Each structure stands twice: as structure tokens, then as C-alpha cells.
């Protein structure tokens, strides 16, 4: 997944990615966390339960991402900026969030 250079710098500072890649012979498969997907799911579930998000489709990493996009649009973030932040290759994908309505 493409990551902005500023985020890469922060991730490197916290997790030592560049040094780990040097030790691994330049491999780019350095893990930031030793979690498996079930562990990540438990963390997401705990955060969403704590935030009061009701059970259902919204209580997932995809739901959090969708909520972020909808919230950004309703907060008048420009579509091109949201597209960049979400890593969308084409603006039409981001435009879906501009058509969200109701309890989304």
C-alpha cells in the first residue's frame, strides 16, 4: 500500500523499519507488529465497542474506514484531499463518500 513519505519517516522512527530491512538483506517484508489477523480484529472490536459503535457492518476495520470517509466529506474536506488520504487511485472511488446519506 502506498504510504506518504512523512508517515514512512514516523513509522521508521517508531519501528526501525529501515534498520530491520538492512539486517534482512533489503527485504521489504518487515512486520510492524507480530499480530495475526485475529489479534488485529480483537483490537478493532475493542476500540469500536468502547466507542459505542453498534454491532453490525460498522463494527469492523472497513466500517471504520468508511466512517472516516463519510465524516471527512460531511466536514467539508475537499474530495481530492480525501482521495489522497485514503489512497484512492481515481477520484470516482472517493466520490462514493460524497453520495453517502442517512445514518452512514
pLDDT tens per residue, range 51-66: 898 888 878 888 888 8
What pLDDT score was predicted for residue 31? 67
| SS3 labels along the chain | CCCCHHHHHHHHHHHCHHHHHHHCCCCCCCCCCCCCHHHHHHHHHHHHHHCCCCCCCCCCHHHHHHHHHHHHHHCCCCHHHHHHHHCCCCHHHHHHHHCCCCCC
What pLDDT score was predicted for residue 21? 72
- Rounded to two decimals, what is the model's pTM? 0.60
Task: Tell which residue, 104, 60, 98, has the closest CA to residue 79.
Answer: 98
pLDDT tens per residue, range 11-21: 888 878 778 77
What pLDDT score was predicted for residue 50? 92
Question: Which of the pair, 90 or 8, is modelled with greater confidence?
Answer: 90
Amino acid at each position: 500500500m502506498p504510504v506518504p513519505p512523512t508517515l514512512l519517516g514516523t513509522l521508521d522512527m517508531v519501528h526501525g523499519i529501515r534498520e530491520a530491512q538492512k539486517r534482512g538483506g533489503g527485504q521489504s517484508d518487515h512486520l510492524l507488529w507480530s499480530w495475526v489477523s485475529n489479534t488485529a480484529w480483537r483490537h478493532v472490536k475493542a476500540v469500536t465497542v468502547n466507542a459505542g459503535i453498534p454491532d453490525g457492518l460498522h463494527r469492523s476495520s472497513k466500517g471504520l474506514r468508511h466512517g472516516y470517509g463519510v465524516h471527512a466529506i460531511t466536514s467539508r474536506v475537499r474530495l481530492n484531499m480525501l482521495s489522497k488520504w485514503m489512497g484512492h487511485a481515481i477520484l470516482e472511488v472517493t466520490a462514493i463518500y460524497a453520495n453517502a446519506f442517512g445514518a452512514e
